[in-house]
A and B are shown apart, each in its own frame.
Chain A
Amino acid sequence: MRFFIDHFSRPVLAVVLSLNCFVALAETKSFCVFDLLGANGPIYAQMKDYKIAALGWGVNLQLKPYINEGQAAADFKAGLCDAVSFTGIQSRQFNSFTGSLDAMGALPSYAHLKTVISTISAPQASPLMINAPYEVVGIIPIGAAYLFVNDRSLVSEHEDTESKLSSIRIAVMDNDPAQIELVSLLGTPSLSATIAEMYNKFNAGLVDVCYGPAVVYQAMELHKGVGSNGGVIRFPVAQLSLQIIIRQAEFPEQFGQKSRNYALDQFNKAVQLAQSYEHRIAPQWWLNISETNQQRYHDIYRKTRLSLRDKGVYDARMLRIMHLVRCKKNSQLSECTAADNE
């Protein structure tokens, strides 16, 4: 017995103590979380679960709520946060590759989105997630963005929609160059607005078209702007996402990959939630568009993406991956054989 105590108990004790030290030494890092409802909101609640997972990877995240994502981005840039989570539109300035995930009209379904996120979350794609000193460590879907219109003739097959386009007024978010480029390509008058103002302007009839995930239809009472003659165009303009970014040097080596795996595990749940909001929009308000119009939309969005790629807003590598996914899902698409494909 004494032999056992002398020869085994000390090393065992040492190991136990070192493990305790390891757990006790979980590094504390600040994590700035954007949510319109601050610490009372759904994204913040999601990040409380993420905090538990991060603890398992040796990091103790201290969550700080932000109701303004521009402020969260500024504080992250200034070093006030070690990690941050906000929408893909904001993340573009830290990683243009993942920031191009919400490129206009690039991913027509959640299945497409899942293939892209699964592809870029794989360990071999990790170099694409790093843009020193930043690393994207998680992408979680918010939901597809749709166009809300106050006049359903805009999607009618029989109307001369081309001529109508020049007169419709579109609300664009002032922090998204992609939306500004799209309306300039369409040659339509636009009204720049913050996310807070955009939906009120639509409801007040100051613009004819606005854009957002299905959740805003009910939350912002868009039925008022849609009126009796409008609707929601059943064609995803973009796939919006929540992205988590860290200062790579501040975190343990494998943190990024573990975190990306965790985020990928959340995909189905996040999409189910997004779809539940889509189902809350009554069927009569969904506007299905004809094949002809679908093709026209695809062409407009494709032109926008190429233009924004050439201007350095969208990352060519992400556009290429999304093109490959579209053609993998449907090889009959005309763009799959086009000379100027993405």
Chain B
Amino acid sequence: MKIQARRKLYHWLMWLILTLFLLYATSMLVINNSGKLLVGFIEEQAVPYVLKTDDVAMGCVMAEALSLSIPSLAQINASPYKLAVIFEFLSGSCAEFKAREEELRYIRALHAKNVTEAQDARILQKRYLNLAAQRQLKGYLNLELAYPEMPGNACPQFSSWNDEFYWLVGLMDGLLAVLNDLASEGIANVPLDISLKVGRGAGCLDNTQWWGMPSAIQSAIWVSFPGNKPAGVDPLIVLDEAMQTGVQQGMLIVQVIAAKIYIGLGDAARVKAIIRENVATKSSLPANPNFLFLDKVATLQLQAISDYMWTEATGKRTPIGGLGTFWDDPVNKTDTVDIFDIL
């Protein structure tokens, strides 16, 4: 009787140990793979889905809210670096938009001859640019984690469209981090060699497949660092060709880079022409439904540039429905009749 009871106890103990082991193994399996599954879901499903939407403001808020927690996925055996590239890019853009608002306040204060207000606006603009630079630098550093030793030195073997997309966004992170840091007195300590690395990294992507963006990035680098361009290449011709490549595919994001380059060069006429072309193209060619988000980003960025130009000239931003028009456009006079007799 005693032996039988002991046997039963062993039997149940064995089952208990086996069950606990199975539970532990399963939970480890779940923990080890949940991070990968989550990152895989966001990379493969959520990001492409968001790209089909057009509420950029919501995308910006989402990125600002989630960017902090993205790196924690690394604690559950996931590799969240590519996600961080895009989330930091978006949250950096949020700070950039706030900086632009402050730049408009600076210009309006100058119009009103209000020196203190202008100084205050510049201080806040630099704070936001600094914040943008910090976020974009994080994005770029995550690109270096995703592709160790690669940016600027070698081209990765991309395994999917997504991989190439994150590479492109990561390069943009780096370029913008440098520019925004320089514009805000260098307090974010962004390594300056990133810009040349970005120029070389852009060469890893097919220019036509990526809507002219790689060539546009390269021409941006070559305009400022002409010693780095290949012999006989005119960066502005490369830029114009890149723009045509994008516009022909209905992908207008390349126009933003072009407009920023021409602003840098002080060529307001070219900037106006790009904004006009953007508006004309949008009215004749529907945006690619898979990239509505990027199309909206392009429109908002060009609208911000237009606002800057309008505010400098008139003290006010672009009128509603007025994107593509400018304050100094020739006015079409409407015919009138002579009413002298009636008076």
Contacts and interface: CB of A to CB of B under 8 A. Distances in A.
Interface of A: 23-24, 26, 36-42, 45, 48-49, 51-53, 55-56, 60, 64-67, 194, 196-200, 215, 218-221, 269, 273, 276-277, 280
Contacts, number: 95
Contact of B266 (A39, A42, A194): A39
Given A38-B264, A49-B122, 14 more contacts: A38-B265, A39-B265, A39-B266, A41-B182, A45-B185, A48-B122, A49-B119, A52-B106, A55-B113, A65-B266, A219-B195, A219-B196, A220-B196, A280-B191
Contacts of B289: none
Interface in B171-217: 179, 182-186, 189, 191-193, 195-196
Contact of B227 (A42, A51, A198): A198
B300 interface: no
Nearest to A23: B113
B226 interface: yes
A37 B228 contact: no
B265 A65 contact: yes
B187 to A, nearest CB: 9
Interface of A is mostly: helix
Contact of A41 (B115, B191, B264): B264
A42 B118 contact: no
Contacts of B118: 52, 55
Interface residues of B, number: 30
B192 A219 contact: yes
A41 B189 CA distance: 15
Interface in B216-237: 223-228
A245 B113 CA distance: 23
Nearest to B183: A45
A71 B233 CA distance: 21
Nearest to B185: A273
Nearest to B223: A67
A56 B264 contact: no
Contacts of A49: 119, 122
Nearest to A64: B266
Contact of A200 (B185, B227, B266): B227
Nearest to A39: B264
A51 B118 CA distance: 10
A41 B225 CA distance: 12
Contacts of B191: 218, 280
